[in-house]
Amino acid sequence: MPRTTLSTADLRKPVVTAAAVREFARGGYHGTTIADVARAAKISPAYVAKLFPTKERLFVTALERCFDQVVEALAAGADDADDPSPDGVLFAMGGAYAHLIADRTLLMLQVHAQSVAELPEIGEALRAGLRQVVEFAKIRSRASDEAVQRFVAYGQLCHLIVTAQIVETPETWARLLTEGIRHPD
């Protein structure tokens, strides 16, 4: 069987994409430059620009990778569900997602994407990623539309709890928001 030889660009794109996920998660769209991503990927800014002609394209590629990882985590959670009912599968997916965002990188990239969703290419990619998550959750769990909506709403609440560090707030209002929400240590 003949071997397929990958070009240097094919080998570098995943490295640059991973660096872009980390850098955009840290600094956001406006606070991160192509040079920042290049430095993190240990290649030249010119080569990053050759692979991704615009900063928007680089951000979108990072966001697409983020949502791929989210769906991979949801799939793993669904595979490990102890309870095969729709609610049981959604519960297992929620646990897998909570574990995934314990490392805030993917979470922060999504938050930054929401903050610049008015940029057409990024807004389109954000909606495509959300569609991917919602459709996967609906098909895989076989849950009702209402249950899937609640699942996504709880996910957004988890985002808020993690980004605002509400878990560490001992006040009554914070306990109200965090009650029953899983957060890996």
- Decide if 116 is inside a domain: yes
**pLDDT exceeds 80 at position 2:** no
The pLDDT of residue 183 is: 61
Residue 78, domain extent: 56-178
**pLDDT exceeds 90 at position 180:** no
Report how many helices (DSSP H) and strands (DSSP E) the chain contains, helices first: 9, 0
Count CB neighbours of 108 within 10 A: 22
- Decide if 43 is inside a domain: no
- Decide if 126 is inside a domain: yes
- Decide if 36 is inside a domain: no
- Decide if 77 is inside a domain: yes
**pLDDT exceeds 80 at position 58:** yes
| Mean pLDDT of the 124-146 span | 98
Structural domain total, the chain:
1
The two three-digit tokens of residue 130, written as one number = 């959300």
| C-alpha dist (Å) from residue 33 to 37, 39, 70, 165 | 7, 10, 25, 27
The pLDDT of residue 11 is: 87
The pLDDT of residue 6 is: 54
The answer to whether 93 touches 137, Cβ cutoff 8 Å, is yes
- Decide if 145 is inside a domain: yes
Tens digits of per-residue pLDDT, 11-56?
899 999 999 999 999 999 999 999 999 999 999 999 999 999 999 9
- Decide if 10 is inside a domain: no
For the chain, how far is it from start to end, CA to CA, in angstroms?
47
Round the average pLDDT of the chain to a whole number and report it.
93
The two three-digit tokens of residue 131, written as one number = 């569609």
- Decide if 51 is inside a domain: no
Residues of the chain above pLDDT 70, percent? 94
The pLDDT of residue 1 is: 60
d(CA 124, CA 118): 9
CATH number for position 129: 1.10.357.10
The pLDDT of residue 79 is: 98
**pLDDT exceeds 70 at position 3:** no
Split at pLDDT 50, 70, 90, the class of 185 is: low
Tens digits of per-residue pLDDT, 97-119?
999 988 899 999 999 999 999 99
